[in-house]
Amino acid sequence: MNLFDTTLKKSTLAEAVTTNSDDQCRVSDLLLPEDEKPSNIGSTVPSSVLEEKPEDDNKTNPPEELVCPISLNLMTDDPVVASDGITYERASIEDWFEKSKTRISEAEENLKLNPHSEADKRVLDTGICSPLYKTKMRSLTLVPNASLRNMSCAYKEKKSGVLTKRKKIRPPPGFDKI
């Protein structure tokens, strides 16, 4: 194996890798000849990094940009952008907001009974958080993402060969006043 040969395929690397008990391989195992390999030193790389994904993975799974990060479904119904800048399916993010509001209400009730509960104080301080970033949402306003919806519908049509009827997307509240 040539140290400077950059044309190696992942499968060649994966075959050349020896793993230790932590299921990790040493970079030195890949690059150095047998007599120059250190015994216990060297950077380690998880062997999963070297594993190849199935080639037909792209044929069965939609691009992750078109998938709701909450429901993990293709966003063809009503994708919306939340204040964290992420697009979600409206039903999923609204459900997230409702569950968060319920948790906050429960924390308020618990604090009436036990005003020293640190966990309930944290729930109130945190408020409603982004499902992805776990940071406080600045607003609960949701803006329709027509472009993503059209891309998702086009992807679905291409994969199924069946045309889907596209719903009219409602403008965000106050949009007509601009």
- DSSP notation for the chain: --TT-----HHHHHHH----TTSEEEHHHHHS-GGG--SS-S-EEEHHHHPPPPTTHHHHS--GGGB-TTT-SB--S-EEE-TTS-EEEHHHHHHHHHHHHHHHHHHHHHHHH-TT-HHHHHHHHH-SB-TTT-SB-S----EE-HHHHHHHHHHHHHHH----PPPPPPPPTTGGG-
Residue 177, domain member (yes or no):
no
Q: What per-residue confidence (pLDDT) applies to 160?
A: 80
Q: What per-residue confidence (pLDDT) applies to 17?
A: 40
Q: What per-residue confidence (pLDDT) applies to 166?
A: 57
- Tell me if 173 sits within 8 A of 100, measured CB to CB: no
Are residues 35 and 76 part of one domain? no
Count of the separate structural domains present in the chain:
2
Residue 113, domain member (yes or no):
yes
Residue 131, domain member (yes or no):
yes
Please give the biggest Cα pair distance in the chain: 75
Residue 103, domain member (yes or no):
yes
CATH number, position 106: 3.30.40.10
Are residues 155 and 87 part of one domain? yes
Residue 132, domain member (yes or no):
yes
Residue 56, domain member (yes or no):
no
- The Cα 167–Cα 146 span in angstroms is 10
Are residues 155 and 74 part of one domain? yes
Spans of the chain, pLDDT less than 70? 1-59, 162-178
Residue 165, domain member (yes or no):
no
Q: What per-residue confidence (pLDDT) applies to 4?
A: 45
Residue 30, domain member (yes or no):
yes
Report if pTM > 0.85: no
Could you tell me the residue range of the domain that residue 36 belongs to?
Answer: 10-50
